[in-house]
Amino acid sequence: MANSNGFYIGNKYDQQEIALIANEHRQASIILLSGTFISQFLFPAFVVIAFWSSMPHFQLLLWLAAHYVLTLIRIYFTYYWYKHTKLVSKNSKFDRITIILSVTQAILWAYLILQIDFLEYLYPSIFLLVVIFGHTSGALGVGAYWPRYYFFYTFVLLSSFFIFALIGSGKPSYFLAFAIFCYAAFLLQIVITFNERSAENIVLKFRNESLAKSFEKQRLHAEKLAASRRNLLAATSHDLRQPLQAMNLFLSVLNNRSKTPENKHIFNQLEESAKGMGELLNKVLDISKLDSETVTVLLEPVAMQSLLDKVNTNFRLRAENKGLKLNVPSSELWIKADSVLTERLLSNLLSNSIRYTKKGKIDIQVIEKTENSIELVISDTGIGINSEQQKYVFEEFYQVNNTERDRKKGLGLGLSIVKRLCDLMNIPLTMESEERVGTIFTLKFPKCSPVESYLSTMQKKPWSLANICIAVIDDDESVLMATKALLEQWGASIIAAESADSIIQQQENSASNSINLIISDYRLRNQVTGIDAIEAIRKYQSTPELPALLISGDTDPAILRYVANSGYTMIHKPIKPAQLRSIITRKLNEKPE
Amino acid sequence: MKILHIDDHQLFTEGLAIALTSSQLECDIHSALNAREAFKLLEKHHDFDLVLLDLSMPELEGIHFIQGLLERSAMLPIAILSANEDARKIKQALDLGAIAFLPKSWGTEQLVDSLKLIEQGNIIIPEEIRQSIERLPQKRANTFENNTYSNISKRQKDVLLLIQQGLSNRAIAEVLSISETTVKSHVQSLFQIFNAKNRMDCVLKATELGQL
């Protein structure tokens, strides 16, 4: 089915594509038509020169003038009117005018054909034929983009020639007429083929481009979705937990107030739901944390035995309650891993194995695979996973055979957490599974040599008073003993005395650790103050910035002001343990000023 | 036991208040939703035994609140009660004298038991948190201790640290309990010392020169 402008098939392309082809074709044909204007000036002039001696000059000049006027009008239409017109119908108007004008030009050519006596004026006749046949084939280019224009133009030219063959020169030449007819058919065929092909090319190019564009758009969209999901969870994880935590508090109050068994039952259900919600939330937030790349991985030497011990303590009971055997070996090997993340990794894998094993056993094996790699193998005799589902088990919320989403079967997040943890630590994980036989997970850790004393390089612990020596000075024996007992209970080693001199003496005799902190009563015997005592010890140890605090029952504002102005910290009796502990911690961690 | 609880989530402060008062722990709990309310309560009552503090609050972060308390020489024991489990922040709080970290996910019983232990001067920190604090890289956790105050005064240094944390002059004034005008003059002299065009520039140049 030919479209009003061309031969591309209507139902092959949609509305938008047809419009696109029409537009592209119009642009191309206008460019080509513009290219013919020079020949529209040159060839009529050549023909006039060739015919000069064989036709009346006035007639020839009039013919030439008509040609030139038409060409000028066309130039005006193409270069000026078309480009500067904003009419909605300008395209069809332009088409009509251009066709009328060029058909008129074709008629001018036809007029010459029918005017001249071919036999008498052989040279100009051949010249004319060459020019006309040249025109019909030269216009093929335009025809490929604008077939209608080409039909009108060529029809006039060739039909005049056809008529000439039949009646122009005395006796009709049917053979020539037939040849012209064949030539016309041939041209028609070329134009149709060109037209279809170019339409196809345009549409293909367009489809490719829009495909690439929409693909890129979809990719960006998907990336954005994934990122926003990650960020949303990471950003809101803090706030997400709040209402749930508040709810748990309210629930505990409710529990104490609901005495009837009926209410107890409802309460238990409520508590169960809250617990489930909390679990789900924590898992989801775990994943978002792993995804948001805020988890720092610290690869360090880890004793395999320490991991296996954790598994034993955390899972033996759970497995045995289900009637499963849990075989955990012992191992002397060390691996390079993040101990906290690896523990989580193992506990997720084991929860999973226990959950999906109804009877039988769970085996853990540690295999020294090569010189520098160790395999940890966890195998169960559980329900297994068929090969079709194995692809999906590491995806979030995917659960084998749990389309009804029974929560007792877990949340389906365990293995996706496992995968993320493995990726984070760069530990290869493989899974082999057979339905109704069991599943084997294999983790491949880098081996490392045992480390003895890496604990000593660890972070200073702000909460620990171990290895801290505190000097306590108080002239009241009972207070002194009570303070000593309290501090010792927190793990500090104490030197207690009623004066600084006595402390210094004890230090000299025992050669024990140097003092890290002084706690002194403000009022000591013989008019000595705590400040004096502190300074004496500081001087003795040559540690002028040794942390110290004063304790006092004084409420005399003058003393308080004096102490405060000398830069000492003073707390008031009776000492509250929490406050004392807090101030000690602060003093020990304070930077020297 | 008189407790000051600071948390921006009202639902949670109400929940905690009801839960604690109806538990066997004898306590009097006062709630504040932000630092300003907290400081007001602290001025009114001088006999709080413990501050329960959330670490992440929109206006003034828990850490800055502790700094503010220290500036006011309030020697109250502080326990962190927070859902935020960022080991670095917790370590900072502990270094500033906080004596407990209580996760919000704990139930009432566990909280009550912990509060009793805290009252006796025990330090309560869950095992996982202890582990992750121990595993913190040394250098970063100790930045507070390694500072050298060669060119700028301690006060200017404090202001600089708070600028780095993105606080406005007003918030800095609140933390350090000094007037906003004083903060402005500190900021001006910091700008001069580091030849800085703005706060960002100031922090960057101070970092380059090893002052941060």
Map residue A448 onto helix, strand or coil.
strand
Determine the pLDDT at residue A350.
92
User: In Å, how far is A579's CA from the nearest CA of chain B?
Assistant: 5
Determine the pLDDT at residue A456.
40
Q: Report the range of poorest mean pLDDT among A207-211, A451-455, A583-587, B179-183.
A: A451-455
Nearest CA in chain B to A241: B83
Q: Say which amino acid occupies B60.
A: L
Q: Residue A397: which region, alpha, beta or left (left: phi > 0; alpha: psi -120 to 50)?
A: left
In the 8-state DSSP scheme, what is residue A293? T
A90-115 vs A147-163: helix crossing angle, rounded to 10? 20
Q: Cβ separation of B83 and A238 shorter than 8 Å?
A: yes
Judge whether residue B86 has pLDDT over 50.
Answer: yes
Label residue B24 by pLDDT band (50, 70, 90): confident
pLDDT in tens, A353-403: 998 898 899 999 999 888 889 999 999 998 888 887 777 777 765 665 555
Q: Which residues contact A401 (CB under 8 A, 6 or more apart)?
A: A383
Determine the pLDDT at residue A511.
64
- Which range, A441-455, A491-505, B128-142, is most confident? A491-505
Q: CA-based angle B144:B40:A568, to the nearest 5? A: 45
Q: Residue A527: which region, alpha, beta or left (left: phi > 0; alpha: psi -120 to 50)?
A: left
User: In Å, how far is B81's CA from the nearest CA of chain A?
Assistant: 12
C-alpha pair distances (Å), A181 with each of A109, A274, A447, A515: 18, 91, 90, 121
Q: Which residues contact A241 (CB under 8 A, 6 or more apart)?
A: A281, A285, B83, B104, B105
Determine the pLDDT at residue A534.
92
Determine the pLDDT at residue A591.
55
Cβ pair A427, A445 in contact under 8 A = yes
**Averaged pLDDT score across all residues of chain A:** 83
C-alpha pair distances (Å), B186 with each of A498, B159, B183: 45, 7, 5
Cβ pair A112, A55 in contact under 8 A = no
Judge whether residue A408 has pLDDT over 90.
Answer: no
Q: How many percent of chain B have pLDDT more than 90?
A: 18
Q: How far apart are CA A349 and CA A339, in angstroms?
A: 15
Residue B121 in contact with partner chain A when CB distance is under 8 A:
yes
Residue B120 in contact with partner chain A when CB distance is under 8 A:
yes
Q: Write out chain A residues lying below 8 Å of B125, CB-based.
A: 463
Q: Write out chain A residues lying below 8 Å of B73, CB-based.
A: 564
Judge whether residue A530 has pLDDT over 50.
Answer: yes
Q: Closest by alpha carbon to A337, among A310, A367, A311, A298?
A: A298
| Tokens encoding A38 | 């020079």
| Tokens encoding B89 | 């922040």
Determine the pLDDT at residue A401.
59
Candidate from A246, A585, A591 with C-beta closest to B99:
A585
Mutate one of A277, A549, A561, A579 to test the B interface: name it (highest B CB count within 10 A): A579
How far out from the chain centre does Cα A336 lie? 30
**Averaged pLDDT score across all residues of chain B:** 83
Q: How many percent of chain B have pLDDT more than 70?
A: 91
| Tokens encoding A300 | 């360090």
Q: How far apart are CA A349 and CA A280, in angstroms?
A: 17
Cβ pair A350, A356 in contact under 8 A = no
pLDDT in tens, B28-53: 999 999 888 898 898 898 889 999 99
Q: Write out chain A residues lying below 8 Å of B9, CB-based.
A: 239, 242, 246
C-alpha pair distances (Å), A460 with each of A298, A393, A477, B129: 17, 42, 34, 14
Q: Which residues contact A72 (CB under 8 A, 6 or more apart)?
A: none
Q: How far apart are CA B81 and CA B14, in angstroms?
A: 14
Determine the pLDDT at residue B62.
82
Q: Report the range of poorest mean pLDDT among A251-255, B22-26, B97-101, B111-115.
A: A251-255
Q: Say which amino acid occupies A46.
A: F
Q: Cβ separation of A462 and B94 shorter than 8 Å?
A: yes
Q: How far apart are CA A334 and CA A196, in angstroms?
A: 73
Q: Cβ separation of B109 and A583 shorter than 8 Å?
A: no
Half-sphere exposure at residue A85, Cβ-oriented, CA atoms within 13 angstroms: 15
User: Please, what sign has the CA dihedral across residues A76, A78, A83, A87?
Assistant: positive
Q: Closest by alpha carbon to B99, among A242, A545, A588, A469?
A: A588
Q: How far apart are CA A337 and CA A361, in angstroms?
A: 27
Mutate one of A459, A483, A566 to test the B interface: name it (highest B CB count within 10 A): A459
pLDDT in tens, A49-70: 888 888 888 988 999 999 999 9
Determine the pLDDT at residue A457.
44
Question: CA gyration radius for chain B?
Answer: 18
Phi, psi at residue B100, to the nearest 5°?
-155, 150
Q: How far apart are CA B173 and CA A370, in angstroms?
A: 62
Candidate from A246, A583, A585 with C-beta closest to B11:
A246
Q: Closest by alpha carbon to A374, among A318, A303, A321?
A: A303
Q: How far apart are CA A341 and CA A347, in angstroms?
A: 10
How far out from the chain centre does Cα B29 lie? 19
Q: Write out chain B residues lying below 8 Å of A586, CB-based.
A: 70, 96-97
Determine the pLDDT at residue B28.
92
Q: How many CB pairs under 8 A join A and B?
A: 135
Q: Are strands A493-497 and A469-473 parallel, antiparallel or unpaired?
A: parallel
pLDDT in tens, A113-126: 887 777 777 788 88
Q: How far apart are CA B53 and CA B37, in angstroms?
A: 13
pLDDT in tens, A145-202: 888 888 888 888 888 888 888 886 667 788 888 988 999 899 989 998 888 888 888 8
Question: CA gyration radius for chain A?
Answer: 50
Candidate from B19, B84, B119 with C-beta closest to A249:
B19
Label residue B138 by pLDDT band (50, 70, 90): low
Q: Cβ separation of B133 and A253 shorter than 8 Å?
A: no
Buried b (16+ CB within 10 A) or exposed e, A22-46: bebbbebbbebbeebeeebeebbee
Q: Write out chain A residues lying below 8 Å of B131, CB-based.
A: 340
Nearest CA in chain A to B154: A593
Q: How far apart are CA A285 and CA A228, in angstroms?
A: 14
Cβ pair B53, B81 in contact under 8 A = yes
Question: Is the bond preceding residue A574 a cis peptide, omega within 30 degrees?
Answer: yes
* Beta bridge pairs of residue A497: A473
The DSSP string of A334-397 is: EEEE-HHHHHHHHHHHHHHHHHT--SSEEEEEEEEEETTEEEEEEEE-S----HHHHTTTTSTT
Determine the pLDDT at residue A453.
47
Count other C-beta atoms under 10 Å from residue A5's C-beta: 22
Candidate from B50, B95, B138 with C-beta closest to A589:
B95
Q: Cβ separation of A578 and B130 shorter than 8 Å?
A: no
Candidate from B97, B135, B138 with C-beta closest to A583:
B97
